[in-house]
Structure formats: structure tokens, C-alpha cells
Structure 1
Amino acid sequence: MRAATISRKTKETEIAVSVDLDGTGAATVSTGVGFFDHMLEQLARHSLIDISVAATGDLHIDQHHTVEDTGIALGQALRQALGDRAGIARYANALLPMDETLTRAAIDVSGRPFLVFKTEFRRAKIGEFDTELVREFFQAFVMNAGLTVHIETLYGENAHHIAESCFKALARALRLAIEVDPRQKGAIPSTKGSLAG
């Protein structure tokens, strides 16, 4: 079973995360940050990964620690659930339209974390959510999951649509990249014989 649970506690946040890579996209998310909860629900739904997140943080200061630390815990859970990554497709990409916005994401489940994020927001906030936290989440998630991820918004106007298209594009690419490919016959998809990084 490709599933994992991670608990993380610091002076700033307390987070419990569970993932099931072979789920149906079910999400149970509570971070205290409404827009972020909505984005995590999109990540679950469109990757078909069951995701549970319960997070409390120092929101009286700002949302940064809660968002970043959730990315850390979620990335760690994904990495653990993937195990040695045997049999997976490994590479995938997605082109995601959302009304006037178009975003693409490409992923390599390589064990070597790297993020390229080429997305600009014309507004600093979506409601009470700081748009700069979109990148902060992806950076924390990618580094702890051991993924190489490129996300680029080709064009768009609405900040909500831009952020949501980023999460959905990553979700769609992730869904394809972590699928078990029967033609791999359980082999690790690397000529090195390892995707440990």
C-alpha cells in the first residue's frame, strides 16, 4: 500500500498529514487558511491522492509558517509513500486552462529536488491569502518530496485563477508521474537503478 502519515511539531506549527497515492482524490483539510485549504483540496482531487491535513499554526503572526510547514509535511509524506519509486511512470506534464489563464507543469519523480516557478501575480493577496505563499508551498513540498518540478503560467489575469491553475496543473502531472506503469514490471525507472537522489 502506497500510503504514509507524517506528524510535525515546532514552536510555530503542529501538523498531521496522511496520503494514499492510490486513492480517489478525497480530501480532509483544515489549516485555518481558507484559500489554502481550497488549493489543497484541488491538489487531492486532481491527483487522485487521498490527502488529510490537520494543521494549527501561529496565524496571529501570519500564514507563512502554516503554509510552508504543511508543504514540508506533505512532501515528506509523499516521499515516504513512494518508497523506492519502483514501477512508476516517473515523468509527466500537464497543460491546464482555467478561464483566461493557462499554466503548464512538468515533473520528474527523480529523488533530486528542484523547483522552477515562473508565475507572476498582479495582486499581493487573494482575499487574506498572500500570493507569494504559492511559491513557498511548492518550494517546501518539492524539496521534501524529492521532485523536480517546473511550473509556468503562460498567461492569465485573475490571481485566484492563476494560483488554482498552478495547483491543478501540478496535480494532473503528479497523478500521471506516480502511476504504476505495468510495462515497467516493478523496475526502478532509471538506468542508475536508483531514484534515491
Structure 2
Amino acid sequence: MAKWADYLVSKEKWIPNTKTVDSFTIYIDNGDSVSNKSYDVNRNWIVEQLSKGMTFCCIIRKENGKWYKGSYLTLSSRGGLNWNNNLPLILPKRKSFISYYHKDDSNYKEKFENLTSDLIVNKSVEEGDIDSDPDYGSEKYSPIKYPQKFIDNLNTKYAILRDYTTDRIKLQRYIEQAFDNRIYLSRKDNSRIQMKINTCS
């Protein structure tokens, strides 16, 4: 397989309150594979390497866990950087627990893990069921169809509820929203007695 570029770009970081990019996460293109290790490099290094003739290509991760070719990074006539893909941000990988209904949703869990393997630290276990989302695609939810402890925390605005998406930028934004809600610990409601049996049907 021919190399897409010398380096592959998967994430970006912007200087706060500006339209200037600060740095990128890159991988080495091995031709038949993407390197396992990633590197965060600043904008100036990218510009320097482009000036030396090195090539950079954006890569997009899909549900199957594979990387796909995106746009190339190029230098503008004024020395700026151009690329056409919106990439996830360079942020700390958040510890995340993926809870799902084993009977019907294991495929979605696998796809989610593939999409977010470089965005989160997966702390999930293989046991433990919940009902699949009955309100997907609507702007409402049915409280009786969800775990009641989750509904308690949704009502206090400690938890958030979002539709499943394959958009990695949206997924990262949702994860950050949930992470940021940690400052509202006073909203956390664990008043219900811990369940000891599986109530999923």
C-alpha cells in the first residue's frame, strides 16, 4: 500500500480565543500501517517540515477502528497552514465507563470503542446490562425506560443525555461536557438503594 504522506495528522489544538493553530497530534505513515505511537508537535515544526518537502495528511477514524485518508496540510503563500478536515482537539483522555445492554447493543459498544480509542481511557467491564436507548432520534426521553438512578441525575442536570453519533468531534464534546459536570457534585443524586439484580428485559 502506498504511503499517504510522511506524517499523518489526527488532532489539533488552537491558541485560546484566536484563529491560530498551536499544535497537532501526528503519527508516522508506515505505508501498510499507521505507527502505534503518536507525537504532539507545534505549528512551527510542521511549517519547517513542509518547507523541507515533507508531507502531512489528515486521518479520520471510523467505526471499524481503521484510519481513512483526509485532506493534506499545505503551506499558503503567506506561510500559513491550510487543511480541510475538522479534527478532534488535543485534550486529556478522560476515564470513561461504557454501559450498554448486552442483548442488543454490543455492536454499538464495539463501534464506540473503535471511534474513541484515542479520545478516552476505557474503564468499562464486560458485565452489567442496561436497556438500549428507546428515544434515539427524538427530542424527548421516556423516564420509565431508563435506569432510575440515571434519571435522578438527569433531572438534577448532573448527567447528560445525547444521541449516538459517529462524529468524533461531537463525541469528544459530549465527553467533555460530562467531565465538566464534575464541578456540580452537589447535583449528584445517589439516594437510591444499589440494585442487586438485573431488571433488563
Per the normalisation by structure 2, the TM-score is 0.28
Structure with the larger RCO, 1 or 2 (CA within 8 Å, 6+ apart): 1
Give the structure with the higher percent strand: 1
Structure showing greater radius of gyration is 2
Give the structure with the higher percent helix: 1
